[in-house]
Amino acid sequence: MAQGPLSRFTVLDLTRVRSGPAAVRQFADWGATVIKIEEPGLAPDDKPGGSAQIPDYQNTHRNKQSITLNLKHPEGKALFLDLVRKADVVVENYRPSVKFKLGIDYESLRKINPRIVYGSVSGFGQDGPYVDRPGLDQIAQGIGGMMSVTGEPGRGPMRAGIPVADLSAGLFCAIGLLVALLERESSGEGQWVQTSLLQSQLWMMDFQAMRWLMNGEVPGQSGNDHPTSAPTGVYPTKDGYMNIAAMGNGIFARLCKVLEIEPLIEDERFRSVPLRAKNRPALNEAIAERTRTRTTEEWISLMNQEGVPCGPILGMDEVFEDPQVRHLRMSAPVDHPRLGKISVVGQPVVMSRTPFGQPTPAPETGEHNRTVYETMLGLDPARIEALAREGVI
């Protein structure tokens, strides 16, 4: 990848699986030198063990370098501390107690590099009654309320189809790290940045959380319908289904015009947003009766002409063929030395002067041992080979 706006920063990546790597990936994508530190040998929970994991690994760990290092070996820990002296950021997503057992917690590292910015992603936070519990995305979705509002009424809780807690925790960690690096420019000191799957999941609950915090209202499941606005949901068409989001009186009127059901505009049951939400079943039935008469493509064309928000519901085999998705370049090509030409998910951030560069493949374990240990620590090839024989790297 070409030199990017974060190229002056060096990040030591101790993360695994998803939440931590999601944070570090933002640095890697924008040009930071990211060194993924792995135990000698395979880490079963972080390495591709089957065909489904290989694409995931390539997407999660692109644009990184990989070294092997045994942090439990005294000499391995010493090498790590030498790397910390030259780094700007360390990111980990161990259980909270692990970093203290290894002696690589923030207070320990800041003694040798006061400028170090240290990022931690955990399941439930760095302290509190749940501190020692293992935290995974679905557990956070459950405790954070998401599963209680996802799915159809009466059919029990439902997880989201993506790891919302993991990915949002990674993004919040990245934001916190960038804020800390900006603050360091004035203070000259680093700091410890913390977030968790649970905190991030709660933040993502947004207006659903506020319904409880301000109004004492417990949100329930509403399936494909918007929790508070109608008509906003999934409607059948002649050849499948489509989304329609007609929030507000003006858009509702335009929708009724397109569907040729103008009498509903003056219907007492549907005169306002609260009334439409209250009488949602009858409204949805009336709309569905009309949407079934044309294809999804026909309705989308007609509704877009009238400014009614709508769209198709695409499978992943269709998403990346969508003309707008192609225009946004959300599929980024990668030339992999073993897998050949592959694609990863592109960056959703566009900058006017700083383009997102060509991604590089996720590294093999220890692929950059010689490069990193020679350039950063000045070790000669013979010493590097000896460290490998001794199980240090």
Nearest to 392 by CA among 277, 133, 384: 384
Active-site residue, from 166, 206, 317, 322: 166
Residue with tokens 């269709």: 318
Instruction: Count Cβ neighbours within 10 Å for each residue of 365-376 and write b for 16 or more, e otherwise.
Output: bbbbbeebbeeb
The C-alpha atoms of residue 280 and residue 273 are separated, in whole angstroms, by 10
Alpha helices in 61-157 (DSSP H): 74-86, 98-102, 106-110, 137-143, 146-149
Does the active-site annotation cover 166? yes
End-to-end Cα distance, the chain: 26
Burial class (CB in 10 A: 0-12, 13-18, 19+), 326: exposed
Question: If you ran DSSP here, which 8-state letter would residue 364 be given?
Answer: P
- The span from the CA of 48 to the CA of 42, in Å, is 10
Residue entry with tokens 């910390």: 84
Interatomic CA distance for residues 201 and 170, integer angstroms: 11
Taking alpha carbons only, the member of 83, 6, 19 closest to residue 45 is: 19
Torsion, CA 297, CA 300, CA 306, CA 308, rounded to 10: 170
Q: Judging by beta carbons within 10 Å of its beta carbon (0-12, 13-18, 19+), is residue 250 exposed, middle or buried?
A: exposed
CA distance 94 to 123: 9
- CA gap 72, 235 in Å, rounded: 57
Q: Return the active site residues.
A: 166
